[in-house]
Amino acid sequence: MIDEILNKEELTKDDIIELLSIEKEEELNKLFEKAYSIKEKYIGRISHYRGLIEFSNYCIKDCNYCGIRKSNSLVDRFAMNKEEILKMAKWAFDNEYGSITLQSGERTDNDFVEFVTDVIKSIKEFTNGKLGMTLCMGEQTEEVYKKWFDAGGHRYLLRIETTNQDLYKNIHPKDELHSFNKRVECLKSLKKIGYQVGTGVMMGIPNQTIEDLANDIIFFKDMDIDMIGMGPYIVHKDTPIGKYAIEQGLDTDEHKKKRFLLGLKMIAVTRIFLKDVNIAATTALQALDPLGREKGIKAGANILMPIITLEDYREKYQLYDNKPCIDDNADKCKNCLTGRVMSVGEKVGFGEFGDSKHFFKNLR
């Protein structure tokens, strides 16, 4: 049955559900091998880095799962200055990381918009346009997205989090600021402007079903998404969903293992279904398993996002409990990760953008 599905040209929703439901080790191995063979065919045995700069944890939103949500008064808030961000971007450039990701909590005020515009322009200038820039700063107006695109950002990551709209409502405050439709509109604006557009979901959110996840993968295709950044949901104890998960006994090692496996299966099935998109093996995978990112690569991912945030700020940007690499510095992360990539028989595309092949296929 599994062999039959894996040999199909096009998967149906039922096939996707069947694959996401696999539990037997032998079948899991077949799934991951198939996904990796597709990665090899469309991308090659290569992974690319996006040095992750988490430059501020101020946020106007209150997502019920996120450790840096506005209402979490236990968070020590920080915002890096321009020099600090440029210092990290320079480190990434000097170390031949092809790209960086600029990520922060969401802010829409004019000071923030202008600050980010200036930072993007400066990075573009001093690298002569030779450092790829992925932006991940939440929902903005189309004008702001355009402004940042014109300044030099060319990829944007905005996770849809879940495409089950009832679940979306349950994991966010029920107000205008946290609207599913607005998020979809943002993804459309980003596409229209010309960004390579990334989205993704969290896997293993309490009350999420396998069918929800199958619908998420179909959504990626329907929206013609170029890049996928998704990872397992991880409990943060000072958040409403985290508290609920702990109360319901969903934060045990057994549940963490399940969510981790779900994360790998989602990467594999998304690779099989979408073929030529960029897929990240996110830090959240490593938070649940020390070999998480290597396993992500073997399941079909081709992008890694090593944290290059200055050490002093790392622990203040905790979306979930037990974030890995908090005590590391960028040099240590680079060596550790490159060793990990080589250990699975791949090379790192140093000095290359590692753009989404899907995006350029669409332009032809």
> Cα separation of 86 and 13, whole Å?
45
Number of residues interacting with ligand SAM: please give it, by CB under 6 A: 18
320 binds, among ligand SAM, ligand SF4, none (CB under 5 to 8 A by kind): ligand SAM
What's CA 114's distance to the chain center, in Å? 25
Q: Choose from ligand SF4, ligand SAM, none: what does 337 bind? Cβ within 5-8 Å by kind.
A: none
Stretch that binds ligand SF4, among 60-68, 190-198, 232-240, 241-249 (CB under 6 A): 60-68
HEC secondary structure over the chain? CHHHHHCCCCCCHHHHHHHHCCCCHHHHHHHHHHHHHHHHHHCCCEEEEEEEEEEECCCCCCCCCCCCCCCCCCCCCCECCHHHHHHHHHHHHHCCCCEEEEEECCCCCHHHHHHHHHHHHHHHHHCCCCCEEEEECCCCCHHHHHHHHHHCCCEEECCCECCCHHHHHHCCCCCHHHCHHHHHHHHHHHHHHCCEEEECEEECCCCCCHHHHHHHHHHHHHCCCCEEEEEECCCCCCCHHHHHHHHCCCCCHHHHHHHHHHHHHHHHHHHHHHCCCEEEECHHHHHHCCCHHHHHHHCCCCEECCECCCHHHHCCCCCCCCCCCCCCCHHHHHHHHHHHHHHCCCEECCCCCCCCHHHHHHHC
> Minimum CB separation from ligand SF4 for residue 187, in Å?
15
Query: Would you count residue 69 as binding ligand SF4 (CB under 6 A)?
Result: yes
Binding mask 94-113 for ligand SF4 (x = CB under 6 A): -----------xx-------
Residue 69 interacts with which of ligand SF4, ligand SAM, none, CB < 5 to 8 Å by class: ligand SF4
Candidate ranges 117-125, 155-163, 267-275, 329-337; the one touching ligand SAM (CB under 6 A): 155-163
CB of 61 to ligand SAM, least distance (A): 7
What is the gyration radius of the CA atoms in the chain, in angstroms?
A: 19
216 touches ligand SF4 by CB under 6 A: no
Residue choice 66, 158, 227, 235 for contact with ligand SF4 (CB under 6 A):
66
Stretch in the footprint of ligand SF4 (CB under 6 A) among 30-38, 64-72, 201-209, 235-243: 64-72
- Nearer to ligand SF4 by C-beta: 93 or 320? 320
Residue 248 burial by CB count (10 A; 0-12/13-18/19+): exposed, middle or buried?
exposed
Q: Quote the least distance from Cβ 174 to ligand SAM, whole Å.
A: 17
| Among the listed residues 63, 75, 186, 228, the single contact to ligand SF4 using CB under 6 A | 63
Rounded least distance, CB 180 to ligand SAM, Å: 13
In the set 49, 55, 233, 260, which binds ligand SAM (CB under 6 A)?
Answer: 233
Name the one range near ligand SF4 by CB under 6 A: 59-67, 74-82, 242-250, 347-355.
59-67
138 binds ligand SF4 per the rule CB under 6 A: yes
Q: Is 195 in the site for ligand SAM (CB under 6 A)?
A: no
Asked if residue 49 binds ligand SAM (CB under 6 A), the reply is no
Q: How far is the CB of 320 from ligand SAM (least distance, A)?
A: 4
What are the residues binding ligand SF4 (CB under 6 A)? 59, 61, 63, 66, 68-69, 105-106, 138
